[in-house]
Amino acid sequence: MANQLKTTLEDRLVREKERQFITQLSRTSAFILEKKGLFPKRRRLSPGGQGVAWLLSELLDFVNSREFVDSGSSK
């Protein structure tokens, strides 16, 4: 419970530019993964409005769940 409370208190909304920086995914890639249920769902900032954001905690969980791929050569 304390861990959940800590996450809630430190959580915040993240807009598109920061989401791209955190996840390193293009807008299109994130949208496709979101529609497949493989990426955190966006949240509308106001009813009927166009602004959207993601919860930082959900984005970090997504990033931490991904496999690390080393593109460098190892000789």
Identify whether the C-beta of residue 13 lies closer than 8 Å to the C-beta of residue 54.
yes
What are the domain boundaries of the chain?
2-64
Q: Identify the H or E element spanning 51.
A: none
Task: List strands edge to edge, sheet with 52-55.
Answer: 13-14, 52-55, 43-44
Could you report the average pLDDT of every consecutive run of 10 residues in the chain (75 residues)? Answer: 59 97 97 97 94 97 86 64
For the chain, percent helix, then strand, then coil, each to nearest 5?
50, 10, 40
Q: Give which of 5, 23, 29 is closest to 59, Cα–Cα.
A: 23
Determine phi and psi for 53, rounding to 5 degrees.
-155, 165
Q: What's the pLDDT tens digit per position in 41-61?
A: 999 999 998 999 999 999 999
